[in-house]
Amino acid sequence: MSDSDGGGCCRCCCSFILTSGLTALFLWLSLRTSNPKCSIQNFYVPALNKTLNSTTNHTIFFDLKLDNTNKDKGVHYDAVNLTFYYGPNVSFLIGNYTVHGFYQGHGKNTHRKYLLDTRGVPWDEALKAVSNGSLAVFRVDLVTAVRFRIIGFKTKRHKLDLKANVEVDGTGDKLKKKKGIRLKSGAPELDCYHARVVLSVILSAFVLLL
């Protein structure tokens, strides 16, 4: 075996690794998905509106925004289950609401507005809190699963399990936040972490090759 044969083989091997690396990087870039952003844009509790001076209306009006931030991937939502609690923990279940499953194109967002009939809110306690100038806290949990549509095929289901605390004052309205209140996952974002690991492995492979 001559030296040139060995060199040719090595070059061939290198270009094979380089090509697979580039392919992997390209695939990762085009298959990468990000979960839809879910937020509470509006949350109004008439019973806590002190100007109304009446606690007979036990409804809560909310506006949920579901935002598909992927630039080129659609999202199929399974039924989106919302559960509402009084207080930051789950001891007072006050209502629930389900958004039927639907498809959302890339870069699209949608609002679901609803007047929810609540039960079991300790209104006296909530009123006392807001009369005192402090805040009544409601907790909103969102559970669903989404599949991404990439060039005509669907990915497997990704579970979303999100929550947010909504603070309401004596106007009955949620505290003003420009972008609404984002529903967040309690667990760290595993997908994002995995993606970063894959990317750094690919980049190290490139550095070793060059």
Ligand X SMILES: *[C@@H]1O[C@H](CO)[C@@H](O)[C@H](O)[C@H]1NC(C)=O
Would you tell me which residues interact with ligand X (CB under 6 A)? Answer: 44, 46, 49, 51-53, 57, 59, 61, 78-79, 81, 83, 87, 89, 91, 96, 98, 115, 128-129, 132, 134, 143-145, 171-173
Tokens at 17, concatenated = 């690794």
In angstroms, what is the minimal distance from the CB of 66 to ligand X? 14
Kindly tell me which of 23 and 54 has the beta carbon lying closer to ligand X: 54
Which residues does 41 contact at the CB level (< 8 Å), separation at least 6? 63, 64, 65, 111, 180
Say if CB 156 and CB 147 are below 8 A apart: yes
CB of 28 to ligand X, least distance (A): 28
C-alpha distances in Å from residue 95, one per residue of 78, 141, 186, 192, 195:
20, 11, 21, 32, 37
Residue 81: CB minimum distance to ligand X, A? 4
Closest-by-Cβ residue to ligand X is: 87
Query: From CA 106, how far away is CA 11, in angstroms rounded?
Result: 42
Strand 80-86 versus strand 92-99 pairing type? antiparallel
Nearer to ligand X, 2 or 91 (CB): 91
Q: How far is the CB of 138 from ligand X (least distance, A)?
A: 11
Nearer to ligand X, 21 or 46 (CB): 46
Closer CB to ligand X, residue 81 or residue 200? 81
Give 167 or 173: the residue with its C-beta nearer to ligand X: 173
Tokens 């990468």, residue? 32
For ligand X, the closer of residues 24 and 61 by Cβ is 61
Q: Residue 73 burial (CB < 10 Å; 0-12/13-18/19+)? A: buried
Query: CB of 32: closest distance to ligand X in angstroms?
Result: 24
Q: How far is the CB of 205 from ligand X (least distance, A)?
A: 38
d(CA 140, CA 47): 18
CA-to-CA dists, residue 57 to 54, 120, 199, angstroms: 7, 13, 53
